[in-house]
Each structure stands twice: as structure tokens, then as C-alpha cells.
Structure 1
């Protein structure tokens, strides 16, 4: 076998490289997209500047090992040049949008996911929580939230304080929280009473949505909620009783560091479709967004420290200054994160699909942007121009619905929905 320009007798890698990246320890590089998917060549900062000035740069073939040395770390990408290849395979798509006027001014809505009908909880501006059947147009007020107001300080990175509504699968319980704040409530919608006052702590609470999610476990509805910046707990939604008591997870100056200390700011939580795993879109200093995932049964049944350092907890990726980004589950084994790259200033629009059990990447492709949703066969991205439908296996875009950017997914009814100027707009996903 002849020597390649990198001076190795090996198989050629998938990318060409500028000579300055060969034989050095420097891994930082710019990716020069070829227009075929995510295929790209690689060059150093100096060559990138030269190319931007109109100069021709020389790219040579390098071996698989040399290419992997440069491309294996997300943080090594300095930027992208050119345009990725986006392929289409259009499929029949019913783009009918159903529109229904809402019975009250609405701040937020949440699906009652366990219902096969399009039944939603609505949070009105005055704090009322009601059940709304989108087809029958029935509206029943069930409770009123009294979450404390919080001073709306200067929004961090544009994230203003906002009220968010969450619903349990069966619709009996709701949580109203201050995203990018510290307070919230869990309410029993049968009795109208508050079962649990939530306090996520005030330390940099303005950097993340309030961490809260409902799960069904052991025949009970449980609520996962942040109790400190670096701690999640689980409580019985009916009684507010905490089921994850453990020693402190924080410490002060001069105090010993706890054994299971977690240096991690918990963010938005995503429960997998079968309720087996949970993903957490949080961050660590300096700051770096690091979405993580762990096994819920291991946490709730076996190891109270699973959310801190349990064996099922995995980092999915890390991106400087990049969190509060769209994520979703394809199924209980695969999780999707938006953005390809390791820094918010060098992020390519697209998605990465990762194995939740190992944290390893399965595939990635350019194109999807905006809020993400999925059923068993397709990935849906609420792009600014409208909804896009993607095949998560092949990376093909299979359809679009202009001027429809959903914000919520009703799993039971198989619908995506959003509220526009007092109107609930719904689209029925493909049957599976």
C-alpha cells in the first residue's frame, strides 16, 4: 500500500485536509461542506482566512486515522463554509389545519397525552386551568393556579420569565411553573387543591426553564422537579410526599464536598415515550450545554443517586454556550438533539440522533431547525417558514406544511398544535 500525503500507509479518510492539519496536535478546524449531505473537507484557521480572501488553498488526501483525530471532538469545529446537501423524497401529506377558537385568553396549553381524543389543558391569563375538548369545543374550569410572581429581571440571553403548563398523562394533575424563574405549583384538578409548592432555587435560575415532568410509576403519578440548581427530586403528585430523600447535594465555603456532588444546572426535562428514560437539557461551567440521559426505573426503584452519578447516566454531547435547544425522543432508545457542532458560534442547522443507553451518536443530518417532535416513523421540525417532516433513518425531507409552527405534541390524539391569536391550530400526524 502506497503512503498517503499524511505519510501513513492506510485507507483514505472521508475528508481531505489542508497540509497544516497533518502531523500536528492542532485539532481546531473549519469544515468545508461539499454539498453532499454533511460531507466536508477540513482546513486550519489560516487557510480559512485565505479562502475567504479569494485565495486557492491546497487540500490533500489523508488517512482515516488523521481525519478522525481532527473530527472526533465536537469542540474542534471552528465554523462551517458552504452549504450542506439536503435531500427530499416527497410523500403524500394531508396538510389540513383544524382551527378552533379558544374560550379564554390563553398563556399556555398542555396535552392530556393519555387521551385518544384532542383534549387539552389550558392555562388562562387569570390563572384558571381548564379542560378543553378541541372537537366538541367544551370548556370546563378545574382549578386556579396561584404561582407567585417573580421580578422579571433583565432576561438572560433573551429568555424572559414566562408561565408554563404541564399535565400528567391522565389529566388529573397539572404543574404551573415560572420558566427561567424558581417557583411553581402542582395541582390536583379533581379537588382544585395545590398538592405541592415548587421551589427550584434561585441560583442562576434565569438560565434554564423550570425542570419539571410527570411520570407514571408503580401505579402512581409522580412529578420530577428541581429543588436546587443541581438537584432533582421526585414527589407523589397526589400528596406532595418526596420519594427521593438523600443527603445534601450542595456545600458552602469551608464545608466538605458531598460524595455525590453534581456540578450541573438542570434544565428542561424530556421523558421518553414509554416512560423508561429521561433527558435533561442542562449546562455546566464555563458554560457548556451538556444534555444528559438516565434510566428512570433505576432511579426510582434502585439508586436514589442515579440522577447524580448512576451507571445509566450518560452525556449525549457538549456544546459551548448552547443549551435551551429543541430535543425530542424518537422512541425509548433514541433521542434527538438539534444543532451539529460544539459551539453556539459554529453550529450547523440539523440534528443528531443518539443512543440513549450508551450516549453514542447513531446518525446526523443537516436541515431540521426549530422545535422537534416525533412519532414512530417521522421527525417533525417547526421551522420558521412552517412544519417540515423528515425521515430520521435516511435524512430525507418528506414534506412541508407552510405557515404552521407547532409548539405542542398530543401523543394520544396524534396531533401537533399551537395557539395563534386566540385560535387553537391543530394538524393530524401521519397514521402509523
Structure 2
């Protein structure tokens, strides 16, 4: 068997690299794009592309996973293979005005909007005010240079019984029982750089199993039973004392927006750590609720770290694959696109050049509300396969996407 330049026999890896990177702890490298999709080679700071060699699959994989990329050289190939979109369209007049593009959410068979007057239910042929909802006032002194923050956002439970109004980039949230028209939880995540992350909140289950997971401190999540609001995740997560080592279960991590997996066994947190590095965190919800009381503090970090980059679109492609927008390791040197990660291992499993905008996963595809319209991307094909010009939805439910603007409700349902 032929021995490769890395000193190992075996099959050639999926990328080329300079000899300095074929080691146990490779130095930082630059990704040199080949012009074919998102394929690239790795070059360290002392070498040029002329020094690249073929290495074994093991050395290529190790360098790819452990060599922190300093940036990109070249351009990606964005694959556009649009086909007939199909699906079902509907549109009707609807003079309802959500507070912003985060204030429309799905209900079984209809939609719920958060307006200046309060909650408004929207069906196929009618809309009516449910009632007002209030959050405590935020302290504007803490907003630094973000005049548009904090801002309200709306979440709904799968069965439509509960809704939550949260203060994204703020401190407070309120959970309402829409059936009983009563407030079941007032939430407060205290104040510590909250203006940098969306409020962590997501609903779980339905009916008698309904719960809500939410931020209760800048670095802490908890789960509450509904409708009673009982705390299900009592535990000790004390902060360290000055001059003392950190307690075993202290989490130095700024919690951000939550995305729950299709089966609700896991969730991914769009948070960050000092100084400052975006680091999405996967939490095993099933283990947490089954008795692993510190599962939220021992989650698995995805990506090798993204310098100064977080608060970005994230979606579950399926129950084990997470799509995170923007490709790279530093906000100054990132490219439009999506990185795919295995939630169980934390390994990157693929990339897709092009997508940029609010994003949902459904049926193995990614749906992106881009500036020009709704895009449909197939990660397996590595290409955009559909496009609806001018349609920019802000809410999704099981393959139906909704846009509410200019006094009109438009929806599109993808083919099954």
C-alpha cells in the first residue's frame, strides 16, 4: 500500500493541506476554496497553496476539526437548481399589524399576533382581539448603543393553549394561559449583558405534558410545568466567590435564543462566552427531565467557537442535525451559508453556500426568508431547489409559512 506524504498508508482524505497541519495539534490555517461548492484546502501561515499535499483521511479530518480557521481565500460556488415550487398558496385581507417580525406565531389551524393592543387571533376568514398583555418596563440605561432593543417577541405552545411574550435583548417574559386568560408565569433573567441575546424561551409538550423552558438568570435555564408553573429543575448553580475556584456546576455562559428538536428530546441554545465567542450549546432535555439535574450545565458545545458572532439563525434539520447560518470562525471573515452539525457528537458534517435570513427546517429541507423572497434549500444536494420571489414569511407551522404585512395575510404550504 502506498504511503502518503503524511507518513500514513490508506485512502486519500477529502481535502488537501500543507505538511505542518498533518500533526496531532495543528496550527491555525486559512481555508482556500477550490471553487467547487464549499470544498476547500487548508494552508498554515508559513505555507502557500503550492505546498499542499494529499494526506490520509484521518489526518485530513483531524486538521479540519482541530485547526482553527483564520479566514477564507477564494469564493464559494452557490448552487441554484430551482425547480417548480408547487405547494398551495392563499391570501386574504387582514388589517392586523404585529409589533415586529417576531410577533406572529402558529396556533392549531390559525395564527396569533402580538399587536399594540394585545393578542389577536387570525383565522382563514376573521381576526379578533383576545386581550392585552404587559411586561415590566426595562431599564433603558442598560441598552448601550442599541436603540431598537429590547423588543417584544411572541412564542406559542404546540396545542395553542399557552403564549409567551418575551423581551428579546431584555430581562422579562410572561406566560399566559389563553384558555383561562390568566398569567401563569412572570419570568426574570436578571441583568447581565442581556442586550446581546434574545430571551431564552421555548414550549415543550402539550396537554397534560405541557412545559416551558426559559431563562431565569443570565446563565441559567429552568423548566416549569404548565399551567401551574411548578419549577421542575431545582438545583444549585451558585456563582463563585472572589478568590475561590468555580463551583462544580457553575456555568459561565450567556444564554440566548432556544430551538427545540422535532422530538423535543434536545434543544440548542444560541449563546456566547467571554471574550466574546459565540458557542451554540446542545442540552439533552430528555436526560434533564429524567433526573440528570445538571444536564443544562453540561451540554455539548457546537462549532470550534465563533469570534464575536452569535444571535444568528439556527434550525433543526432533523432530530440529530443542526443548521447554523454563516460559515467561518470570526464575524469579520464569515461567508453567507450554513454549517451542519451532529447534535450528538458536536462534529461539523457539512456546509451549504448561500443561505442568509430567517430559517426553518422541515421535511429534510431548509426554508430561508431571504431579502428577495423565500428560498428552499436541499442540504443533501447542496443547492437551492426552489424560490418564491417577494414572499418573506415570519412564522411557520408544519410546512405552512405565513407573511402578514401591508394589511394582507399570505400563506404557502409546501407539498407533502
Please, what TM-score do these two structures have when normalized by structure 1? 0.85
The alpha carbon displacement at 1:184 in A equals 1.6
The gaps in structure 2 that reach 5 residues or longer are: none
Are 2:115 and 1:124 aligned?
Answer: yes
Are 2:82 and 1:90 aligned?
Answer: yes
Are 2:65 and 1:72 aligned?
Answer: yes
The match for 2:134 is: 146
The alpha carbon displacement at 1:156 in A equals 5.8
Alignment length, in residue pairs? 411
CA–CA distance in structure 2, aligned partners of residues 389 and 226 of structure 1: 32
Are 2:159 and 1:173 aligned?
Answer: no
The gaps in structure 1 that reach 5 residues or longer are: 49-56
CA–CA distance in structure 2, aligned partners of residues 72 and 60 of structure 1: 18
Over 3 Å counting, the alpha-carbon distance change for 1:25 and 1:171 in structure 2 is closer
Question: Which is worse superposed, 9-18 or 319-328?
Answer: 9-18
Are 2:365 and 1:375 aligned?
Answer: no
The alpha carbon displacement at 1:240 in A equals 2.2
The alpha carbon displacement at 1:348 in A equals 2.4
Over 3 Å counting, the alpha-carbon distance change for 1:334 and 1:72 in structure 2 is closer
RMSD: 2.8
CA–CA distance in structure 1, aligned partners of residues 31 and 234 of structure 2: 48
SS of equivalent to 2:286: helix
**C-alpha distance after superposition, 1:15-48 (max 9, x if no partner):** 3445776789762222221111222233344667
Written as runs of structure 1 = structure 2, the 5 A alignment for 1:33-432 is 33-45=33-45, 58-64=50-56, 67-73=60-66, 76-94=68-86, 98-107=90-99, 108-113=102-107, 115=108, 117=109, 119-126=110-117, 128-133=118-123, 135-136=124-125, 138-152=126-140, 153-154=142-143, 160-216=149-205, 219-253=208-242, 257-309=246-298, 313-317=299-303, 318-411=305-398, 414-431=399-416
Please, what TM-score do these two structures have when normalized by structure 2? 0.88
CA–CA distance in structure 1, aligned partners of residues 227 and 133 of structure 2: 16
The alpha carbon displacement at 1:175 in A equals 0.7
The alpha carbon displacement at 1:2 in A equals 6.0
SS of equivalent to 1:177: strand
CA–CA distance in structure 2, aligned partners of residues 207 and 426 of structure 1: 32
2:121/2:129 contact within 8 Å kept: yes
Question: After the TM superposition, which segments of 4 or more aligned residues of structure 1 sit over 6 Å from their partners?
Answer: 22-25
Over 3 Å counting, the alpha-carbon distance change for 1:202 and 1:58 in structure 2 is same
1:371/1:383 contact within 8 Å kept: yes
1:156/1:206 contact within 8 Å kept: no
**C-alpha distance after superposition, 1:209-251 (max 9, x if no partner):** 0111111168232111111111111112312222222224334
CA–CA distance in structure 2, aligned partners of residues 15 and 358 of structure 1: 21
1:175/1:185 contact within 8 Å kept: yes
**C-alpha distance after superposition, 1:321-376 (max 9, x if no partner):** 11111111122222211122222222222222222233233322222221111211
